[in-house]
Amino acid sequence: MPEGEVMEIPPIDAELALAEVRARRAEVVDANLVPGWFWPSIGVLMLLFVAAVETGRPWLVAAGSVAYALGLATLIAALLRRSRVQVRNTLIGAHGAAAIVVFTLVLVGLGVGLGLALAALGVPAPATIACLPVAAGLAFGGPALMTYLRRVMLARPLAGPR
């Protein structure tokens, strides 16, 4: 067929083919999203670790650190085990990347800012208390971020920017 010429197939077949492409993209995106259980798990782990460190008791700090390291390693290993595909970076795009950066900065800013403020006010266990909204932000915000990223990735043009 000469270059640039479009072979004529029935329009319904073309539409069905495009629907297939969209459905397959959704499968890839869904296989890539961080699962819901990850977010509260990481929040609880972080909270326990900060609380253990803040006690200042050496044995508790040591136990908390070991538990945190083991827990984190287990979570990451579980994530990697289910990862059989890597979504194309261009699908996430600038909006998706910005959402991830903003999500991270908000949680870090919230935790550090609240912790410093509580410490300045002389509140006991400021880091642990400051970690509570961060853990909640991870538990609830993580799935919301995934929902947003899914929408962004599925809305990209089918042929996609390269």
Partner 1 sequence: MSAEPRFDELIHAPTRLSIVSLLTATEWAEFKFLRDQVGLTDSALSKQLATLEEAGYVDIRKSFIGKRPRTSVRLSPRGQQAFAGHIAALQQIVARSGLAVIPESAQP
Task: Give the Cα separation of 114 and 109 in Å (integer).
Answer: 8
Answer yes or no: are the C-beta atoms of 142 and 39 closer than 8 Å: yes
Q: How far is CA 50 from CA 77, 111, 126, in A?
A: 22, 11, 10
Shortest Å distance, C-beta 135 to partner 1 = 31
Q: How many CB atoms lie within 10 A of CB 156?
A: 18
Q: Which residues of 2-39 are buried (b: 16+ CB within 10 A; e: fewer)?
A: eeeeeeeeeeeeeeeeeeeeeeebeeebeebbeeeebb
Binding mask 17-56 for partner 1 (x = CB under 8 A): xx-xxxxxxxxxx-x-------------------------
CB closer to partner 1, 23 vs 121: 23
Span near partner 1 by CB under 8 A; candidates 13-21, 50-58, 65-73, 98-106: 13-21
Residue whose token pair is 């996609």: 160
Contact between 132 and 47 under an 8 Å Cβ cutoff? The reply is yes
Residue nearer to partner 1 on the CB measure, 51 or 87: 87
Q: x/- site string to partner 1, residues 64 to 103, per CB under 8 A? A: --------------------xxxxxx-x------------
Rank residues 94 and 159 by Cβ distance to partner 1 and give the closer one: 159
**Is 57 a binder of partner 1 (CB under 8 A)?**
no
Interaction of residue 3 with partner 1, rule CB under 8 A: yes
**Where along the sequence are the contacts to partner 1 (CB under 8 A)?**
1, 3-9, 11-12, 14-15, 17-18, 20-29, 31, 84-89, 91, 153-155, 157-160, 162
